[in-house]
Amino acid sequence: MAVALLVAGGTIDTAHAATAPARPFEGFGPAGVVALTHGHSHNDYTRNRPLHDALSRGFTSVEVDVVLVGGQLRVGHELVEALVSGATLRSAYLDPLADWVGRNGGKVYAPGDPPLTLLIDIKSEARSTWRALEGILGDYEAMLTRFTPEGVEPGAVTVLVSGNRPVDLVEERSERFTALDGRISDLDGTAPATLIPLVSVRWGALFSWSGKGRMPAADVARLRALVDTAHSQGRRIRFYATPASTPGIRENVWRTQLDAGVDLLNVDHLAEAQRFLMTASNDGPAADTGRSDAGHRLPAGGVDRTP
């Protein structure tokens, strides 16, 4: 049933919004793009060209918010934004990824590069949204990592669930297409890395350093201890809401994280981070700390060789 939502400046006809086309995905391919192991495109769906910009620059992790509306997973941070965008998880991410992978021999980037992490941040009710997500992902199983009682079957794309997470449901499902984005408390728990392969931590919850000058030695030690703990459990670690007020501060914080072994840099400025990772990766071993699945070493991030 169509309804009109009252919003600032007017109304939204949900009948129109439900059928509105997503932003057109411009066809492109991976030729010449080298994977940036540490690149995570934060809130990727807000970019001018969602997914396109991140993949064309070699990012190996992208993040998208979803809301369950009428059985569809709509892209957006909350209901009104999801309806206005007109985009669905299928149209904006899964269909384009299936096309990309299909034209690249079953991979996102080159053989030996890490799979793409698709971090899906659930903004609606956890249990119903996760069930809907698992149902939709079944249509794309050829490209997806599978989690089974026998272990992990790697695919070109690994889906992790963040935000509102039905931890008990995911844990109970013996075969699934999703694993969980963990919290810092999970580093003290017993959940296996096959259930929680990544832990994401809000920077300000642990550190007060603003990104200017050197990070205090005590904070560096704490950061490295957290990274070591995550890696000893076979997990990757990411920090979000890091200091980012100027390009210099962003680069200083990125470099400090790489030096400590952080796996994914939470990036809002893709071109800037790509240039940084190209330089950092070629400077020495500081950036060569990436991991895909539990305990697997990855090559360092590299150079986008497109003209």
- Give the per-residue pLDDT at 76: 85
Are 175 and 147 a contacting pair, CB within 8 Å? yes
CA dist., res. 225 & res. 220, Å (int): 8
| Coil, strand or helix at 60 | strand
Q: Angle 41-44-48 (CA atoms, 0-180°, nearest 5)?
A: 120
* Tens of pLDDT, residues 214-257: 999 999 999 999 999 999 999 999 999 999 999 999 999 999 99
CA dist., res. 218 & res. 178, Å (int): 36
- Give the per-residue pLDDT at 228: 98
| Coil, strand or helix at 306 | coil
CA distances from 207 to 20, 218, 227 (A): 43, 10, 14
CATH number given to 34-285: 3.20.20.190
Point out the least confidently predicted range of 15-29, 71-85, 274-288.
Answer: 15-29
* Tens of pLDDT, residues 247-262: 999 999 999 999 999 9
Domain boundaries, the chain: 34-285
Beta bridge partners of 59: 36
Query: Crossing angle, helix 247-260 and helix 270-283, to 10 degrees?
Result: 40
